[in-house]
A and B are shown apart, each in its own frame.
Chain A
Amino acid sequence: MCRRHAVPGDRAEAILARGKPVCPEMHQPFTKAATAMNLFGRAARWRIGSPRYWAGVLMLLLGLAWAGPAAAEWGAIAIPRVQYGGGGDWYTGPTSIPNLLKAAAERLGLPTRPDHFAIRISDPELFSYPMLYLAGHGNVKFDDQEVNRLTAWLDNGGFLWINDSYGIDRSVRRELRKIYPDKELALVPPDHPIFHQVYDFPDGLPKIHEHDGKPPQAYGIFSKGRLVVFYTYESDIGDGLEDEGVHPTDTPEVREKAMQMALNILVFALSQ
């Protein structure tokens, strides 16, 4: 688990509201901007009428002609994390989902929006996102209104992935019972398609991060023949999705395994 990037809840909220990364590692936009400025500076030294200027104009025209009509960018997949009450660190692992969505775009060609952002269940925008990610270490709590909204969200096509970063098991089970009083979290067997979508996991959920020495377990809640909640317990897939170096103990092989399983989860959510 990543303590290095954990920030207090109110500060993280403020940062998220400004749309800036909460993790120091997420400074890529600034680097890109600096590079762009540098290029612009060089370009400014090109004198108008010089051979380099005309070559540039020609290349620009050729580039425009080659590009043709603007490419469609629509239906981008975004996965917000759930900003729950109860005091738990809902903001943990800020690079997990952006990294997952980047990999989905690179490996599967899916249109994605790899942003790190959070929404509350009571947020009016909840129904703009058919998939949510919930992670953390502490207590998770939904009030009555949130329970009703989440139930409607799940029953009408939503998919919730809960990643036990460590220590949320008890509160998650308690809150899920409030959402589905008549349903229990059921073990998802290794032959379930979620473990074989893009990558094969014949033994089921992989172990990414050691917590209490227990085996990794995948639970699910099925409603109307659909997996609506997928709960990864004692595995911490989210941990393995974070940027390289955040968890020095995670080897590249372990991180790849986490990414593969996360891609399976995403594709399953889109496919079921």
Chain B
Amino acid sequence: MRCLFALLGFDLGPIQAVETMNLGFSWGWAAVVLLLALLLPLFLWFLRPFEGKPITGGLAGGLTALRIGFVVGVVCLLAGLRCTVTGWVPQKNKLAVLIDTSRSMSIVEEGKSRLERVRQALVDDALLTGLERQTGLSPALFSFAGTVAPLAAEDVASFALQAEGTQTNLSKAIGDVANHLGEGNLLGMVVLTDGGHNHGDNPLDALGRLRTPLYFLAAGRAGQTRDLAVTLDRPPSLGYLNSMTRVRGEIRLHRVATDTVPVQIRRDGKLVETIAVPVPAGQSRVPFAFNIPCETEGTFTYAVAVPQLENELTLENNESGFLIKVVKERLKVLIVANAPSWDLAFLRWALKSDPNSHVDAWVRLTDTRWSRMENFVLKGIRPAPELGPDLEDADVLVVSGVAERVLAPHAEAITRRVEAGKMGLLVLPAARGYRPLGYAGSPLAALLPVDVGTEAWRGVPSSLALPAAEPGYAFLRLLDDPVENALFFKAIPKLDGLFTYGPPKPGAEVLLTSSLDQNGRPAPALVQQRVGRGQVAMLLGGPLWPMGFKMVPTDRTIKPYTAFVLNLCKWLANRREDALVTLETPSARGFVGQPSVFRVWVMDSRRQYVTAAQVSAVVEAKGREPVTLSFIGTSEKGCYEATFVPPWRGLYAVTATARAQGKVLGEAKGEFLVEVPTAEFDNPEVQVELMQQLASATGGAFFPVEQTAALVRSLRATPGQKRETRILDFRDSYLVLALLLALPLAEWILRRTKGLS
């Protein structure tokens, strides 16, 4: 019957078996009778008397029948002929079973891992057979962690599943299965998990309205685990020789009673220090920080470890590591300023606190008097600045309101050095802005992260604020605690005003905003832009010195300001090897299973960026098969990118090779440390409450994994059928139209063949 309807161009939808069919009219039978009474005599009158020609009675009857048939067809369509089909629709005929294979399922409790308990339920307790018997449905099988993947029945029978997923996203896994199988078709979803959701949307929000009942089998024992963990918060990737680098971390205690935790710090496997971190009573998360001395140049692997406890939940989070590259300190700052100012005085004062920094300055006093400072010492007065030699040696150029014509002769050198990553540029606000100083449209304006032509002054005091996302730059992290850090920036004495510009240039990044509103958004206060391999930062408001000096009498002191200035300049200095091919690893470390982006910069022998190079890299962990990466060009000139997803933990050696026209341009080597993400162990308890809430919200049930029989019994909904009615309008059928047109055509043919007109 479905085929017949399909032939007529109708779709019965989910109706599998047709029970009844009824013909009817939209206008009702009365309308049909009236229409026939009106139209039929009219058509028949035109038909008779067959043009007076002698025809047989059979032909006359045939023509009349055709005419009547046509009129009846037209009348039926006009009156809205329709068919009401009633049939049976199968319902709740699918069942899904989801198995959590995230790393937290490897947690061992009472001698058994959580995944082992799942295996027991599925294989030993024959959960699948029980479900099939109860519902009559063969369940669809899936495994999930961060994403969901289908499983074959054999996979479950042999139970070759491994707890390897680095994150758990319950919302996505359940949502994807519901979409895939059709929410209305699902009798229910049986989820075998510990409920350790740690990624994606909150399941209570995302799944609260799900119409499919969720049946949870909780793997694991609540209240049985204890764990001691250490995590590091954005460990540094770069250190400077003869300085200390701050490392921040957190110790997490789960059912561990202690008043101190000894933290071991190892460099390249050798113990260098042990610090005792006091644990306040009742605290389960204790932040700590320590300094590592950078005494030798080179790359070092640091590991931070907490003791391993007996019967600990997992030992994978008892150690965390990072790779740090110590480079020679040579922070040479060149200041070119239009006038002396307190901002410059305090900037120098902050830089002076670092014994490794060297500051040269040219400060205009009058048009013919420029004061010259060499390494913080005033060396006299010159009639004009002589920037050439200083520029070639500077790591950071600080420009403070100096006219464009002063820098114009050196614009090419400045651009070249910034693009090559050999010099950073810090632009401080000019007293009356940069547009009147001739920067708009100049070669130097191309380096700036904003369009100078759109400059406008807003003399409204405004506070500084960090952007919503946590700062990715160390110089914006002035206090260990991120919340206090954000509050600190808000508490910094206000700027007198800001220069506002149009939107930052593409690729520019706002590092600090202000409380000033600009087109409905906070006006930027510090903007940075990458130019080639170098960095350019522009401060848009001022003065900044009160951020340091005014904080002296407070408990914050001048130190955050000093750290801000020093670290900003060090970041701008952006030291790189003087090589044709440069490899940039993403950070101090990567994580197993999480993509990391490697970048390679390629220059030719004339130190011009090469845009058509073939770049590849071999990434090799000790004792493992090497992986070859192919790089693709980016929008930045001479820059190539490749994404690497580390499969294993450990130290990887990376060798990048660049070729152009078959010739090897150069090679760059680096190292990359890969850690195992510990998010799966951050909250190691079985999340009973979450699973119970989800089960309750969706009409399902919650049971410990050992009670599979109870779960099977609780599957209340049974698969079955429901009656559904569908109305089919014949005006929608192309076949009906074709038949209707065929009737006059047949009459015409008949008439022509029989000599009628």
Contact = CB atoms under 8 A, between A and B. Distances in A.
Interface of A: 69-75, 77, 107-111, 124, 126-128, 130, 149, 152-153, 156-158, 193, 196-198, 224-226, 267-272
A109 B349 CA distance: 23
B549 interface: yes
B366 A107 contact: yes
A226 B346 CA distance: 12
B727 interface: no
Contacts of A108: 339, 365-366
A225 B376 contact: yes
B381 A70 contact: no
Given A72-B431, A196-B380, A271 B340 contact: yes
A130 B376 contact: no
A157 B378 contact: no
B405 interface: no
A80 B459 CA distance: 23
14 contacts: A69-B457, A73-B459, A74-B495, A75-B496, A127-B546, A156-B557, A157-B346, A157-B552, A196-B381, A197-B365, A198-B366, A224-B352, A225-B376, A272-B348
B549 A156 contact: yes
Given A157-B349, A271-B345, A272-B378, A72 B549 contact: no
B677 interface: no
B642 to A, nearest CB: 46
A158 B551 CA distance: 13
Contacts of B755: none
Nearest to A158: B549
B432 A271 contact: no
B352 A225 contact: yes
Given A153-B552, A156-B558, A271-B373, A72 B378 contact: no
A127 B557 CA distance: 11
B558 A157 contact: yes
Q: Report the interface size class on chain B.
A: 35 or more
A226 B349 CA distance: 9
Contact of B550 (A75, A128, A196, A271): A128
A193 B372 CA distance: 10
Interface in B502-554: 541-543, 545-546, 548-553
Interface string B426-466: 00011111000000000000000000000111010000000
Chain A contact residues: helix, strand, loop or mixed? loop
Interface of B: 339-346, 348-349, 352, 361, 363, 365-366, 369, 371, 373, 376, 378, 380-381, 429-433, 455-457, 459, 495-497, 499, 541-543, 545-546, 548-553, 557-558
Contact of A72 (B342, B371, B497): B497
Contacts of B549: 127-128, 130, 156-158
Contacts of A270: 340-342, 344-345
A224 B378 CA distance: 15
Contact of B341 (A75, A153, A224): A75
A124 B554 CA distance: 11
Given A110-B339, A152-B553, A156-B549, A269 B376 contact: no
A267 B340 contact: yes
A158 B342 CA distance: 10
Top 8 nearest A-B pairs by Cβ distance? A270-B340, A74-B496, A193-B378, A75-B543, A72-B457, A69-B456, A156-B552, A271-B340
A157 B345 contact: yes
Contacts of B545: 130, 157
Most chain A beta-carbon contacts within 10 A, residue among B430, B456, B549 = B549
Nearest to B550: A127
Given A107-B366, A156-B549, A157-B548, A197 B343 contact: no
A270 B545 CA distance: 12
Contacts of B433: 69, 72
Given A72-B459, A128-B546, A152-B552, 4 more contacts: A69-B433, A69-B457, A74-B497, A271-B363
B539 to A, nearest CB: 12
A232 B366 CA distance: 25
A198 B365 contact: yes
A148 B525 CA distance: 35
B288 to A, nearest CB: 29
Contacts of A107: 366
A195 B699 CA distance: 87
B340 A70 contact: no
A71 B435 CA distance: 11
A268 B381 CA distance: 12
